[in-house]
C-alpha cells in the first residue's frame, strides 16, 4: 500500500503546509500495533515520519491494515509544525485517522494473512464507528486506487488549523480510539 497525505494549512488559506512533520501508524495484518499490543511492545514497525514537501505531501509505503473488533479499518496520523517538534506529543497541531473504503478492505481481507478481518468488518459500519461516526467518515475517507494483487494507493487531504494551540496529551495506556498507539479492540486473530 502506498499512502499519500496532503496537509493543508487552513489558517493560511488552505495552502500546502510545507515543512510539517507527519507521524503515521497503523495495525498489522493480524490487527496488532507495534509498541502496544501483547508480544510486540518492543517492536516499532508500521510507524513512520515524513516531512511535507513544498506541495504539503508526505508519502509512505506500508501494508494494508487489518480490521479488528469494534473499529472501521483506518490509519492514524499526527501533524507537527516541524520535525523538531515531533518528539513532544503536546506539540501536535492535529491528530486524526484516514478511513479505508469498504470495497478495498473486502478485497484485501480475502487474503489468508488477514484471517478474521472479514468477520470483523461485517460487524462494523463507517457511520457508527466511534471516530468516523459523526460524519460517516466524510472528511476522513481516503481515496483508493489499485487492487489487492498490484497494490493499493491511498490518498487523503487533511486540512489543519495551524492557528490553534496544540492541546495533545500523553498517549492513553494501551492505545485508544483516536490518539497514539493502538486500537482499543481485539485483534482479528484473537489475543497476541
- Grid cell of 61 as nine digits: 509505503
Q: Which residues of 63-81 are buried (b: 16+ CB within 10 A; e: fewer)?
A: bbbbbbbebbbbbbbbbbb
Q: How confident is the model at residue 178, as a pLDDT?
A: 41
Segment 68-99, tens digit of pLDDT = 999 999 999 999 999 999 999 999 999 999 99
CA dist., res. 20 & res. 23, Å (int):
10
Instruction: Note whether 55 and 6 are within 8 A (CB).
Output: yes
Torsion of the alpha carbons at 174, 177, 180 and 185, rounded to the nearest 10: 40
What CATH code is assigned to 2-160? Answer: 2.60.130.10
Helices (H), the chain: 102-108, 117-122
**Residue 87 burial (C-beta neighbours within 10 Å; 0-12, 13-18, 19+):** exposed
Domain ranges of the chain: 2-160
Residues 111-117, mean pLDDT to the nearest whole number: 95
pTM: 0.86
Instruction: Give residue 168's pLDDT.
Output: 52
Q: Is 99 helix (H, G, I), strand (E, B) or coil?
A: strand
Amino acid at each position: 500500500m502506498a499512502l499519500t497525505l496532503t496537509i493543508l494549512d487552513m489558517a493560511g488559506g488552505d495552502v500546502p503546509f510545507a515543512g510539517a512533520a507527519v507521524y503515521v501508524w497503523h495495525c498489522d495484518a493480524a490487527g496488532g500495533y507495534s509498541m502496544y499490543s501483547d508480544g510486540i511492545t518492543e517492536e516499532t514497525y508500521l510507524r513512520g515520519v515524513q516531512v511535507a514537501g513544498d506541495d504539503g505531501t508526505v508519502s509512505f509505503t506500508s501494508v494494508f491494515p487489518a480490521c479488528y473488533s469494534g473499529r472501521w479499518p483506518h490509519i492514524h496520523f499526527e501533524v507537527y509544525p516541524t520535525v523538531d517538534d515531533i518528539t513532544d506529543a503536546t506539540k501536535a497541531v492535529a491528530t486524526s485517522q484516514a478511513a479505508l473504503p469498504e470495497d478495498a478492505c473486502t478485497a484485501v481481507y480475502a487474503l489468508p494473512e488477514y484471517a478474521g478481518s472479514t468477520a470483523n468488518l461485517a460487524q462494523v459500519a463507517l457511520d457508527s464507528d466511534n471516530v468516523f461516526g459523526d460524519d460517516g467518515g466524510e472528511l476522513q475517507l481516503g481515496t483508493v486506487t489499485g487492487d489487492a494483487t498490484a497494490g493499493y494507493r491511498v490518498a487523503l487531504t487533511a486540512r489543519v488549523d495551524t492557528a490553534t494551540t496544540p492541546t495533545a496529551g500523553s498517549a492513553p495506556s494501551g492505545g485508544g480510539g483516536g490518539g497514539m498507539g493502538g486500537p482499543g479492540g481485539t485483534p482479528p486473530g484473537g489475543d497476541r
